[in-house]
Amino acid sequence: MITERDVAEIELARCAGPVSIHSMIERFARPAVVERAESRIASEAAWRTSGVAHHLGQVSLEQLVVLGPTTLGHHYARYMQHFGLQFGFFPRGPSSVEEPSPLERAADMVGDHHDFVHVLGEYETSDDDEAAVQSFVCGQAPAAWSLFLRRTLASTEIHQPRYKHLRDVVDADLVMTDFRRGVAAGCVVALPFGELLEHPMAELRRSIRPRESRPSDAELRNSCQGVTERRFFV
């Protein structure tokens, strides 16, 4: 999904100073980039799955948490319960057409799969880790990620307090270690998570290299609610 040329240009830009997430959103919204992405996504089977929304509409976190302790579904449910989250957290931004294009469907998938990426990548919900996970997904599927953020930030609900760190993340710097981690990993963001809820977590994490660093505090700042939260991953 991301080309070697894209990576080289970003690495070169990084040599001159920090690269903002906002600049990456704009970079991957360019018409030529979007055209290439539409073609590639349309040809890749991973992006033609039904996504996770269909599956999670039929089960509750309480049903998932009783799955085996090594499964994706169990870990996902515990994570969501720990932070008081529910599937479908992000507001839906406007869509340009009645029949979505391959890129628009991929952007929907980026949003629907966001918390699964948090779980697989071991990202907390703090402000800092939100910038990190967004950088990871930029390295995975940049055009779909860019469209997802542009549509989400255009939502009429985006000014609600619970979306504060999503608004703020646009002004954050791209976290290069996590961007590179996303580039190096398999296409995690397009996994058919709904079909993998009983799959061993360890197997799904094999394509993702360990994080190079983690926040050191036991309590992590989340400005969405003006609170600190206890970390989930240890």
- pLDDT tens readout for residues 167-199: 999 999 999 999 999 999 988 999 999 999 999
**What is d(CA 149, CA 154) in angstroms, rounded to the nearest whole number?**
8
Residue 185 falls within a domain, yes or no?
yes
| Tokens coding 188 | 């995690």
Q: Please state the domain count of the chain.
A: 1
Residue 84 falls within a domain, yes or no?
yes
Please tell me the pTM assigned to this model. Answer: 0.91
Residue 193 falls within a domain, yes or no?
yes
pLDDT exceeds cutoff 80 at 60: yes
- Helix intervals (H) in the chain: 4-15, 21-27, 31-43, 53-56, 61-65, 72-82, 102-112, 114-121, 127-140, 142-153, 164-169, 176-184, 201-204
DSSP state of 20: B
Residue 45 falls within a domain, yes or no?
yes
5 or 167: which carries more pLDDT confidence?
167
Average pLDDT over residues 10-15: 77
Residue 94: pLDDT band by 50, 70, 90 thresholds? Answer: low
Residue-wise pLDDT for 29-41, tens only, equals 999 999 999 998 9
Find out whether 178 and 122 touch, Cβ atoms under 8 Å. Answer: no
Residue 169 falls within a domain, yes or no?
yes
Residue 56's pLDDT is 75
Please identify which residue in the block is written with the tokens 């990576």: 7
Residue 228 falls within a domain, yes or no?
no
**Structural domain harbouring 177:** 4-200
Residue 222 falls within a domain, yes or no?
no
Residue 119 falls within a domain, yes or no?
yes
**What is d(CA 185, CA 175) in angstroms, rounded to the nearest whole number?**
16
Residues in a beta bridge with 219: 230
pLDDT exceeds cutoff 90 at 229: no
Find out whether 134 and 145 touch, Cβ atoms under 8 Å. Answer: yes
